[in-house]
Amino acid sequence: INIYAVFNVGAFNDPEGKEGLSHFLEHMIFDGSSKFKDKKTIQGWSKKYALNSWNAWTSFYQTSYHLRCLPENYKEVLSGMKDMIFNPLLKQEDAEHERRVITQESWRFYKNEKHLNYLKEVSNNLFYGHNFSRVGCALGWPKTIAKITQNDVKKWHSDRYVKNNLQIVITGAVEEKHIKDMSEFIRGISTKPITKYVKGVVKKPKLLKIVKNSEDIGDPKEQAEVTVSRTTSYLPEKQVQVANLFRSLVSDLTNERLRFEKGLCYGVSVSLWLDADFSEIFMNIKTDEKNIEIVQKEFWKILKEIEQGKHTDKFNTIKKVYIDQIKSKERTSDQIANDAVKDLSRYDNKIIPLSKELKEMEMVSYKDIVKFSKDIFNPKSVFTEIILPSKK
């Protein structure tokens, strides 16, 4: 049985100047509670009852505590989870310990001061006025992590870890009795008014192009790196499968053109990031510096060809493959739970079944792809980032 206890609080809820607070609290839940005196005791409990799977993650919108267990350990697991989540010790010495750990974790992401400042520059350009520019990532910034106090953590726990801010997802070998037992988990949890997160709006980038030397941003590279991206506000549910098929079509065409035909790179990455109040689709390629201009020209040429209807056959092939992939998709019960948790955040507390994904995918036409391409990749709103290779 997989159990996810999810609080609708994440990095975008963090107070200004205390970015990283939600993630900080997540760490401290594992440092001890009224029944479990310290981290080692908790680890022993996880190995004995939860298949050594007791873990958590913090996103922009959620903090999720999760594990899996055998059905015979279900009640013990619920009792332990409840105590750790709702009766944590939150001691001063643990706060200082976690501060050191989280600061080290953040520098693995930011690399160094130059790189951190560059990431801020890019996010402020793409997301100015949006929470993303303030937060950067769920970890917070090293300087804001340093400002988080034990009292901040205690108050955040008291204010946000409440019944009306909690959702529970269970999957696997679940029977009716397990659903009934969940009422004991919920019993006694306090309820408080919660300020609902207001979704942000993504505007046109201030700058449409940034060119940097890799050494100047603290991230030396052997090759040039070109990223062409479009960032927008929330994409509605009906456009998700259009976006997925568009991404697949552009990925096929860019790899075919830039790798197989012209040999300009090992591969092209075309990625899609769909979240509750922002979306981003981007092409990223690493190549020789002399190829930068041709890479950009070929990318825009491919988009123009799509809009002119030149790749209908390829689209139909990709669509069939994508539908067959959905039909044949094999997912563990843990993957189903994890996907459901993320759906709850993105789709305003709805879970999208595979059957609906399939139906929406089947309805996507080439005309939808053309319209999406014209709307999203309007040159007046597209951002290009070029990182030049190290000269040393």
Q: Summarize pLDDT for 42-92 with one digit per residue, the tens.
A: 999 999 999 999 999 999 999 999 999 999 999 999 999 999 999 999 999
What is the predicted pLDDT for the residue at 64?
Answer: 98
Report whether pLDDT(387) > 90. Answer: yes
What is the predicted pLDDT for the residue at 204?
Answer: 94
Average pLDDT over residues 227-232: 97
Which residue type occupies 210? I
Residue in the block written with tokens 């809009």: 307
The Cβ of residue 100 has, within 10 Å, a number of other Cβ atoms equal to 10
Report whether pLDDT(183) > 80. Answer: yes
Overall pTM > 0.85: yes
What is the predicted pLDDT for the residue at 196?
Answer: 86
Q: What is the mean pLDDT of the chain?
A: 96
**Per-residue model confidence as pLDDT tens digits over 278-300:** 999 999 999 999 999 999 999 99
- What are φ and ψ of residue 224, in 5° steps? -70, 150
Contacts of 347 (CB under 8 A, 6+ apart): 237
Taken as a whole, the chain contains a residue count of 392
pLDDT band at 363 (very low <50, low <70, confident <90, very high): very high
178: buried, middle or exposed (CB in 10 Å: 19+, 13-18, 0-12)?
A: middle
**Per-residue model confidence as pLDDT tens digits over 113-155:** 999 999 999 999 999 999 999 998 999 999 999 999 999 999 9
Strand-pair partners of 286: 225
What would the two tokens of residue 129 be? 């006025």
Q: What is the 3-state secondary structure (H, E, C) of the chain?
A: CEEEEEECCCHHHCCCCCCCHHHHHHHHCCCCECCCCCHHHHHHHHHHHCCCCCEEEECCCCEEEEEECCHHHHHHHHHHHHHHHHCECCCHHHHHHHHHHHHHHHHHHHCCHHHHHHHHHHHHHHHCCCHHHHHCCCCCCHHHHCCCCHHHHHHHHHHHCCHHHEEEEEECCCCHHHHHHHHHHHCCCCCCCCCCCCCCCCCCCCCCEEEEECCCCCCCCCCEEEEEEEEECCCCHHHHHHHHHHHHHHHHHHHHHHHHHCCCCCCEEEEEEECCCCEEEEEEEEECHHHHHHHHHHHHHHHHHHHCCCCHHHHHHHHHHHHHHHHHCCCCHHHHHHHHHHHHHHCCCCCCCHHHHHHHHHHCCHHHHHHHHHHHCCCCCCEEEEEECCCC
Report whether pLDDT(392) > 80. Answer: no
**Per-residue model confidence as pLDDT tens digits over 79-105:** 999 999 999 999 999 999 999 999 999
What is the predicted pLDDT for the residue at 329?
Answer: 86
Dmax over CA atoms of the chain, in Å, equals: 66
Taking the C-alpha atoms of residue 6 and residue 344, their distance in angstroms, rounded to an integer, is: 10
